[in-house]
Amino acid sequence: MDGRRARHDPDAHLLIMTTTPTAAEPARTGLSPRQRRRISLGIQYAVFVLVLVAVGLLADWPRIFENFLNGKVAAGMFPTLFTVALKNTLIFTVAGYVIGFVLGLVLALMRLSSVAPYRVVALVYIEIFRGLPALIIFLLLGFGLPIAFPGFKLPGDVYGTVALALGLVAAAYMAESFRAGIQAVPKGQMEAARSLGMKPGRAMLSIILPQAIRIVIPPLTNELILLFKDSSLVFTLGVTAATTELTKFGSDTTIDQANSTPLIVAGATYLLITIPLGFVVRRLEARQGRKR
């Protein structure tokens, strides 16, 4: 923290210097603003290099490689890492996302409905499912319901339970995104559609929603990334070798091998999906920006 402050201080000082240049000050120190900036930058680079060198010298590299970046342990994770763990993670995520998308859209439309009970139900749902930890929803669906109703089983077994749990939580967040998107479409769009004789539902479907969904692509993709990570909560339901996913597989292998490399590999696999996803969204947004 102190080091960080030390790096920031010269900057702040510099800002004052450049915005309110006075003739007296450079004379007092004998340095021009440009020289001061050079010195300030020099200090910042020096601190950075110093920290790098310190980390390089102090870290126990052989141990780190052996325990976190062990090639042999990592190789042992293939191909199960992709064929089972990643595949299941993707199935959980996509299934949960589809449920969340549809339910979220319905909730958003209810929230904007002119029928008061619909608005109330949607609001209550959103507040509850946004306020609860996802873990509680998982436990309620996985254990709560089967305990209360013996023999209760969701279609798809673990897959169904995870998809529903993820979907129920995601719907609450997505509903709010959809609502914001719908309200961000200018009022004139609805008026133009109605003046052409479209009924309210038709105008919503053909004119408002296509624009609203484009507006909310960034938050919706963010939700996809969150779900992708939240799918790891399935471990609470007890997964088998066939239904394991990335986090569980990583932690199981870590314990099994008494080596932390599998956790790093599992983590890297998450990034393998999330980073390109972020990239795709930025491209989509840029293309949309040109279209508008």
Partner 1 sequence: MTHAVEIRDLHKHFGTNEVLKGIDFTVEPGQVVCVIGPSGSGKSTLLRCVNLLETPTKGKVFVNGFELTHPDADIDASRRQVGMVFQQFNLFPHLTALQNVMIAQQRVLNRSKKEAEIIARENLDKVGVADKCHEYPGKLSGGQQQRVAIARALAMNPALMLFDEPTSALDPELVGDVLAVMRKLAEEGMTMLVVTHEMGFAREVADRVVFMDGGVIVEDGTAAQVVGDPQQERTRSFLRRVLHPEG
84 class by beta-carbon count within 10 Å (0-12 exposed, 13-18 middle, 19+ buried): middle
Phi-psi region of 30 (alpha: psi -120 to 50; beta: other; left: phi over 0): left
Closest approach of partner 1 to the CB of residue 59, in Å: 53
Instruction: Report phi then psi at 244, rounded to 5.
Output: -65, 155
Chain residues binding partner 1 by CB under 8 A are 186, 188-189, 191-199, 202, 206-207, 210-211, 214, 291-292
Question: Distance between CA 181 and CA 270 in Å, rounded?
Answer: 29
Question: Distance between CA 122 and CA 174 in Å, rounded?
Answer: 12
Closest approach of partner 1 to the CB of residue 116, in Å: 20
Nearer to partner 1, 198 or 239 (CB): 198
CB 200 within 8 A of CB 113: no
Nearer to partner 1, 119 or 214 (CB): 214
Closest approach of partner 1 to the CB of residue 101, in Å: 19
Closest approach of partner 1 to the CB of residue 97, in Å: 23
Nearer to partner 1, 215 or 224 (CB): 215
Closest approach of partner 1 to the CB of residue 209, in Å: 10
Nearer to partner 1, 29 or 114 (CB): 114
Residues 6+ apart with CB under 8 A from 237: 138, 142, 158, 161, 162
Nearer to partner 1, 214 or 229 (CB): 214
Retrieve residue 148's tokens: 């209360």
